[in-house]
A and B are shown apart, each in its own frame.
Chain A
Amino acid sequence: QQQVKQSPQSLIVQKGGISIINCAYENTAFDYFPWYQQFPGKGPALLIAIRPDVSEKKEGRFTISFNKSAKQFSLHIMDSQPGDSATYFCAASIRTGANNLFFGTGTRLTVIP
């Protein structure tokens, strides 16, 4: 059973456009929601993360929007660049205890020049 559902599976965006990736979860105990970025041949790396006490977090061109009541969160990439082409994973965890991350299925983003 997938604890975090992610869509779309793949996304093609023109350079300068906005990329939007969505995730949804069921477990209301989750209290940490990171996004990881993975380039071909590399391991995933933390991109940005949010906790449920805020509705939005922005770092440069990357923004997480969080809707606690809907149990959804999304990644927005503004002014998308070819260098942003990668696979993006959302994830969720409970910060107490083992704090294991549950990952979404991934979105392959291609930004066309």
Chain B
Amino acid sequence: EAQVTQNPRYLITVTGKKLTVTCSQNMNHEYMSWYRQDPGLGLRQIYYSMNVEVTDKGDVPEGYKVSRKEKRNFPLILESPSPNQTSLYFCASREKRGAGELFFGEGSRLTVL
């Protein structure tokens, strides 16, 4: 089954404790992206990657890091989480070329105390 898998789905952590949200896709997609969803703000892009070792900032990259060492994986790293990073996070992937469908994971709800 074609899917984007995120882990963990739920996480409560404390300010400053580094965490990683993993994302993996099994569709051989070149493009992957992270979004955060907040009430009244919709989906905002954090980082994206056009291919292995190619990453770039989205609209709200502050406080986040990403890496793309393998095609299927695109982890989101919060080096020193703060309460304003409490949000619902989505990983997504699609084929590189054209206006293809973006496939989303089921989301990771992060709470930073």
Is B99's CB under 8 angstroms from A95's CB? Answer: yes
Please provide the chain A residues from 91 to 113 with a CB less than 8 Å away from any CB of chain B in the complex: 93, 95, 98-106
> A9 near B: Cβ within 8 Å?
yes
Q: How far is the CA of A44 from the CA of B103 in the complex (A)?
A: 8
By size class, the interface of chain A is 20 to 34
Residue of B nearest to A42 (CB): B106
Question: Could you say which of B40-48, B67-75, B76-84 contacts chain A?
Answer: B40-48
Chain B contacts for A43, CB-based, 8 A: 4, 90, 92, 104-107
Residues of B within 8 A of A32 (CB): 99
Interface residues of A (CB under 8 A from B): 2, 6, 9, 31-32, 34, 36, 41-46, 49, 51, 89, 93, 95, 98-106
